[in-house]
A = this chain, B = another copy of it.
């Protein structure tokens, strides 16, 4: 039996990471947990997000995964170090991969970041970017209206484009050459964001970049899947599975089944 990559998010946002892992690492098996009953995490107190993340990781560890991926920027910003100390498999967050990709891509050293209120308030991207390179200038903007659109499955609507236009207004005209989508929900809105920001601003999907780094780390630690059997992915969510399953199928393909979760918050030692 394959050892899976465990991926967690506040809701459906982490499915953008799942799709990229399925594409870039088609042999790997995935266990996903979306905490839809308690989404969104963005506006929540950091202490609470930290607690929720620990609970979900404790739940996922029962499946003996080979890696934990915190596919939620808000949770990465406040809980990454905590989870690293908690488990003995590699833990990957979604902030540093996006930051490293931005530093690779930028030529002007002027980098934009959009995210939830929690992520932007934590200043985690700026801290990550500046910890690597003192040369960068970072422009951050919270876009609190994006996640609810996606969680409701409205990301392809006319309304979505209007919300994106209005939200990104403060960034237009700034001398950015790349923009980090600092929330795993945002790739659902990539077409609208790209339309608003124009061709000169390269969008960096933390989903794509995180999948790339998952590949790097699995390889470097000798954990890449070698077997050729098709992987069997498992999806759990803490809330009603109907909307989750609809979005998961739209995004990942019709083969997705969401397990009805018997979610009991596990005891954390």
Kindly list chain B residues whose C-beta atoms are within 8 Å of the C-beta of A180.
Answer: none
CB-based contact B216/A25 at 8 Å? no
Q: Which residues of B contact A209 (CB under 8 A)?
A: 104
In the complex, which residue of chain B has the Cβ closest to the Cβ of A101?
B212
Number of copies of this protein chain within its complex: 2
Q: Are B24 and A104 in contact (CB under 8 A)?
A: yes
Stretch at the interface among A39-47, A131-139, A156-164, A258-266: A131-139
Interface bits A15-36 vs B (CB < 8 Å: 1, else 0): 0000000001111000000000
A226 to B92, CA, bound (A): 20
List, in ascending order, chain B residues with CB within 8 A of A134's CB: 26-27, 228
Write out the residue numbers on chain B whose beta carbons fall within 8 Å of the beta carbon of A26.
133-135
Contact indicator per residue, chain A 180-219, by CB within 8 Å of chain B (1) or not (0): 0000000000000000000000000000110111011101
CA distance A219 to B133 in the complex (A): 13
Interface presence of A100 (CB below 8 A): yes
B-chain residues with CB within 8 Å of residue A228 when the two chains form the complex? 134
CA distance A26 to B132 in the complex (A): 8
**Contact residues of A: prevailing secondary structure:** helix
Contact residues in B for A269 (Cβ distance below 8 Å): none
Quick check: A24 and B219 within 8 Å, CB to CB? no
B residues within 8 A CB of A27?
Answer: 132-134
B212:A132 contact, CB within 8 angstroms: no
Given A26-B133, A27-B134: A217 touches B215 (CB 8 Å cut-off): no
Task: Looking at the assembled complex, report how far the CB atom of A129 sits from the nearest CB atom of chain B, in whole angstroms.
Answer: 11
* Contact status of A215 and B132, CB under 8 A, knowing A104-B208, A208-B104: yes
CB atoms of B219 and A220 under 8 A apart = no
Does A103 touch B at the CB level, under 8 Å?
A: yes
> Could you give 26 example pairs across A and B, Cβ below 8 Å?
A24-B132, A24-B133, A25-B132, A25-B133, A26-B133, A26-B134, A27-B132, A27-B133, A27-B134, A90-B220, A92-B220, A96-B216, A96-B219, A97-B216, A100-B212, A100-B219, A103-B215, A104-B212, A131-B224, A131-B226, A132-B215, A132-B224, A213-B216, A216-B217, A217-B220, A220-B220
Query: Interface of A with B (CB < 8 Å)?
Result: 24-27, 90, 92, 96-97, 100-101, 103-104, 131-135, 208-209, 211-213, 215-217, 219-220, 224, 226, 228
Top 5 A-B pairs, shortest CB-CB distance: A104-B212, A100-B215, A24-B103, A216-B216, A213-B216
